[in-house]
Structure 1
Amino acid sequence: MRRLALAISAISVLATALPGVAEAQSRERPDGRDRNERPGAEGQDQERARPRPLAPLRRQANVGPCPFVKILYDAARYVELENNQASASAVGYTGEIEGVSAGCSYQGDEPITVDFNVLFNLGRGPQAQGDQRTYRYWVAVTERNRAILSKEYFDLPVNFDGQQTAQIEQQQRVVIPRAEATTSGGNFEILIGFDVTPEMAAFNRTGSRFRPQAGVGGAQ
């Protein structure tokens, strides 16, 4: 419900030297009419047309914390290596999940709705064939530090348009049912990662990496 915010200011007039002038000023308006005079139709129209400041809508707080949203380290990067050779000359397509921002909402016994943005940096190395590539990534909901509750895969089509790198942001939404009203969002985690091969995961696990501009740089 919108409520008008009315700002009321109290002005004290001290007029000891010229009480008559002060009394006249208190009665008169800037247009010369008496303040006690009722405005005519024109004045009423002007009053109705005058914009009223609106107070900002209140945002209701959640009944508990939001789920943790994380990037899985082993799947945070996607690096194609020809013949599994860890050298810049062997790099094909690359990808890196640069970051994620998220927020959630839930009240009473409602399910937890989590909206988040994922930022991807993609690249083409010397072994990349073509200007287009469809990457694949997944989003998993887990019971915190326990089992996976759900996992969904998404396609990420990229057109490099003649460039070596591209940056894409995708928006996603996850809805998590709750067994009861006392179930907190802190009991859940949302994990994000590329759909990588075991070899890619092992390469990521070593801490080695090729940035998206690997086509013009070396291993880092």
Structure 2
Amino acid sequence: MGLNGAPQASTAAYACPKVNIVRDLQEVTQFRNGGGRDLTDVTSRAALADFSGHCDYADDGVTVNVNLYLVAERGPALQGNEATYRYFVAVSKPGEEAPTTKSEFETTVTFEAGKARSGSREELAPRIPLPKDANAKDWKIFLGFQLTPEQLAFNRAQMKQ
């Protein structure tokens, strides 16, 4: 029995870790090789538009089931009808900014003939090992594109405009 004679819940309600899309790493612009860096040299652009999910607790930890939504746009310099993007999922312990684990993934988006936009839904399931009855609410999960230094500098320059 719980306090005041009320029935005690058999399992405590545990919160999911906080999931964030990293602002500087939310978009990627890809340019053709050897070209300039203006709009006519763009092969494609993509953004991590949104995510949804839930978590499942077990005796040995928590699995965070995340659906990550990626939206892509064909650029004028794209050859063919596909673009490939690298993104990551990083997990940080409570009170720490540096990730404990980081996994990278690659996805290819196909643009249908005559369509400038496309997208994908990526299903991710990062796992956090925890002792029984531990709560993962203070853990953090970060999502973002795996960018080159040049792509990151481009994003930051765009944000300042």
> 1:88 Cα deviation (Å)?
2.1
Alpha-carbon distance in structure 2 between the residues aligned to 1:81 and 1:208: 18
Counterpart amino acid of residue 108 in structure 2: P
Counterpart amino acid of residue 67 in structure 1: P
Q: How does 1:1-220 map to 2 (within 5 A)?
A: 63-81=13-31, 85=37, 87-106=38-57, 109-146=59-96, 147-162=98-113, 163-178=115-130, 180-208=131-159
Tell me the C-alpha RMSD between the 2 structures.
2.4
Question: 1:145–1:90: structure 2 CA closer, same or farther, 3 Å change rule?
Answer: farther
> 1:110 Cα deviation (Å)?
3.3
> 1:198 Cα deviation (Å)?
1.0
In 2, are the aligned partners of 1:73 and 1:205 still within 8 Å (CA)?
no
Q: When the two structures are aligned, how many residues end up with a matched partner?
A: 148
The percent identity for this pair of structures is: 29
Q: Which has the larger radius of gyration?
A: 1
The TM-score, its normalising length taken from structure 2, stands at: 0.80
Counterpart amino acid of residue 198 in structure 1: P
Q: Higher helix fraction: Structure 1 or Structure 2?
A: 1
Q: Higher strand fraction: Structure 1 or Structure 2?
A: 2
Which structure would you say has the larger RCO, counting Cα contacts within 8 Å and 6 or more residues apart?
2
Structure 2 residues not aligned, in runs of 5+:
1-9
Alpha-carbon distance in structure 2 between the residues aligned to 1:61 and 1:79: 46
Question: 1:84–1:148: structure 2 CA closer, same or farther, 3 Å change rule?
Answer: farther
User: Paired residue for 1:46?
Assistant: none
